[in-house]
Chains A and B, each alone.
Chain A
Amino acid sequence: MAPNIPADLKYSKSDEWVRAEGDEVVIGITDYAQDQLGDIVYLELPQVGASFAPGQSFGAIESVKASSELYAPVGGEVVAVNSALEANQEPINRDPYGAGWLVRLRPSGEQEELLDAAAYARYCEERAH
Chain B
Amino acid sequence: MDNFEPHIYELSAPGKHGTNLPRLDVPETDLPENLLRQDDLNDFPELTELEVVRHYTRISRNNASIDTGPIFLGSCTMKGNPKLHEEVARYAGFAAAHPLQGDALSQGALRLMYELQHYLGEISGFEAVSLQPAAGAQGEFTGILAFRAYHLDRGDHDRTEVLVPNAAHGTNPATAAMAGLKVVELKSDARGNVDMDDLRARLSPRTAGMMLTNPNTLGLFEDQIVEICRLVHEAGGLMYGDGANFNAILGIARPGELGFDFMHYNLHKTFTTPHGGGGPGSGAVGCTAALAPFLPGPRVRKAPDGSYELYTPEKSIGRMKAFHGNFGMLVRAWTYIRTLGEEGLREVSETAVLNANYVRARLKDLYPQAVDRICMHETVLKGQIAGASGVRTLDIAKRLIDYGFHPPTIYFPLIVPEALMIEPTETESKRTLDQFIEAMRAIAREAVETPELLHEAPTRAPVRRLDEVRAARQPVLRYDAEAFRRLREG
Residues of chain A touching chain B, judged by Cβ–Cβ distance below 8 Å, are: 1, 36, 38-39, 41-42, 62, 64-66, 89, 127-129
From known contacts A1-B389, A36-B417, A127-B417, infer whether A41 and B411 are also in contact, taking CB-CB under 8 Å: no
B414, B417, B469 interface centre (most CB from chain A within 10 Å): B469
Assembly CA distance A66 to B469 (angstroms): 12
Q: Once the chains bind, are B468 and A64 in contact (CB under 8 Å)?
A: yes
Q: In the complex, which residues 440-484 of chain B have their Cβ closer than 8 Å to any Cβ of chain A?
A: 468-469, 472-473
Assembly CA distance A127 to B384 (angstroms): 13
Output the nearest chain B residue to A1 by Cβ-Cβ distance: B389
Q: Which residues of B contact A39 (CB under 8 A)?
A: 468-469
Q: Which residues of B contact A64 (CB under 8 A)?
A: 468-469, 472
Q: Once the chains bind, are A65 and B411 in contact (CB under 8 Å)?
A: yes
Contact with A along B370-394 (1 / 0, CB 8 A): 0000000000000010000100001
Choose among A41, A66, A129 the residue that contacts B414 (Cβ–Cβ < 8 A).
Answer: A66
Assembly CA distance A30 to B469 (angstroms): 20
Q: Once the chains bind, are B469 and A41 in contact (CB under 8 Å)?
A: yes
B368, B411, B417 interface centre (most CB from chain A within 10 Å): B411
Closest Cβ of chain B to A32, distance in Å, is: 10
Q: Once the chains bind, are B411 and A66 in contact (CB under 8 Å)?
A: yes
Closest Cβ of chain B to A23, distance in Å, is: 33
Output the nearest chain A residue to B475 by Cβ-Cβ distance: A41
Q: Which residues of B contact A89 (CB under 8 A)?
A: 473
Closest Cβ of chain B to A84, distance in Å, is: 15
From known contacts A65-B411, A66-B411, infer whether A42 and B472 are also in contact, taking CB-CB under 8 Å: yes
Q: Once the chains bind, are A41 and B472 in contact (CB under 8 Å)?
A: yes
Q: In the complex, which residues 14-46 of chain B have their Cβ closer than 8 Å to any Cβ of chain A?
A: none
New contact pairs (7) apart from A39-B468, A41-B473, A64-B468, CB-CB < 8 Å:
A1-B389, A39-B469, A41-B472, A42-B472, A64-B472, A128-B417, A129-B368
Q: Which residues of A contact B368 (CB under 8 A)?
A: 129
| The 8 residue pairs across chains A and B that have the minimum distance between CB atoms | A41-B472, A39-B469, A64-B468, A65-B411, A41-B473, A128-B417, A66-B414, A64-B469
Q: Which residues of A contact B469 (CB under 8 A)?
A: 39, 41, 64
Assembly CA distance A1 to B384 (angstroms): 12
Residues of chain B touching chain A, judged by Cβ–Cβ distance below 8 Å, are: 368, 384, 389, 394, 411, 414, 417, 468-469, 472-473
Q: Which residues of A contact B384 (CB under 8 A)?
A: 129
Closest Cβ of chain B to A38, distance in Å, is: 8
Question: Could you list some 9 contacts between A and B, CB below 8 A?
Answer: A1-B389, A39-B468, A39-B469, A41-B473, A42-B472, A64-B469, A64-B472, A127-B417, A128-B417
Q: Which residues of A contact B473 (CB under 8 A)?
A: 41, 89
Output the nearest chain B residue to A41 by Cβ-Cβ distance: B472
Assembly CA distance A1 to B390 (angstroms): 9
Q: Which residues of B contact A66 (CB under 8 A)?
A: 411, 414
Q: Which residues of A contact B472 (CB under 8 A)?
A: 41-42, 62, 64
Assembly CA distance A38 to B468 (angstroms): 11
Q: Which residues of B contact A1 (CB under 8 A)?
A: 389
Closest Cβ of chain A to B96, distance in Å, is: 43
Assembly CA distance A119 to B12 (angstroms): 63
Q: Which residues of B contact A62 (CB under 8 A)?
A: 472
Assembly CA distance A39 to B468 (angstroms): 9
Assembly CA distance A42 to B474 (angstroms): 11
Closest Cβ of chain A to B317, distance in Å, is: 29
Assembly CA distance A89 to B472 (angstroms): 12
Assembly CA distance A36 to B392 (angstroms): 11
Closest Cβ of chain B to A82, distance in Å, is: 17
Assembly CA distance A41 to B469 (angstroms): 6
Q: Which residues of B contact A38 (CB under 8 A)?
A: 394
Assembly CA distance A129 to B386 (angstroms): 12
Assembly CA distance A2 to B468 (angstroms): 25
Output the nearest chain A residue to B393 by Cβ-Cβ distance: A65
Assembly CA distance A129 to B417 (angstroms): 7
Q: Which residues of B contact A127 (CB under 8 A)?
A: 417
Output the nearest chain B residue to A67 by Cβ-Cβ distance: B170
Closest Cβ of chain A to B477, distance in Å, is: 15
Output the nearest chain A residue to B416 by Cβ-Cβ distance: A127
Closest Cβ of chain A to B144, distance in Å, is: 20
Q: Which residues of B contact A129 (CB under 8 A)?
A: 368, 384, 417
Q: Which residues of A contact B468 (CB under 8 A)?
A: 39, 64
Assembly CA distance A57 to B78 (angstroms): 36
Closest Cβ of chain B to A39, distance in Å, is: 4
Closest Cβ of chain A to B191, distance in Å, is: 15
Output the nearest chain B residue to A62 by Cβ-Cβ distance: B472
Assembly CA distance A1 to B468 (angstroms): 23
Q: Which residues of A contact B414 (CB under 8 A)?
A: 66
Q: Which residues of B contact A65 (CB under 8 A)?
A: 411
A64, A66, A89 interface centre (most CB from chain B within 10 Å): A64
Closest Cβ of chain B to A85, distance in Å, is: 12
Output the nearest chain B residue to A87 by Cβ-Cβ distance: B473
Assembly CA distance A66 to B173 (angstroms): 14
Assembly CA distance A1 to B368 (angstroms): 18
Output the nearest chain A residue to B382 by Cβ-Cβ distance: A129
Assembly CA distance A36 to B346 (angstroms): 39
Output the nearest chain A residue to B392 by Cβ-Cβ distance: A38
Closest Cβ of chain B to A128, distance in Å, is: 6
Closest Cβ of chain A to B325, distance in Å, is: 30
Closest Cβ of chain A to B180, distance in Å, is: 17
Output the nearest chain A residue to B472 by Cβ-Cβ distance: A41
Assembly CA distance A62 to B475 (angstroms): 15
Assembly CA distance A24 to B384 (angstroms): 40
Q: Which residues of B contact A42 (CB under 8 A)?
A: 472
Output the nearest chain A residue to B474 by Cβ-Cβ distance: A41
Output the nearest chain B residue to A42 by Cβ-Cβ distance: B472
Assembly CA distance A39 to B472 (angstroms): 10
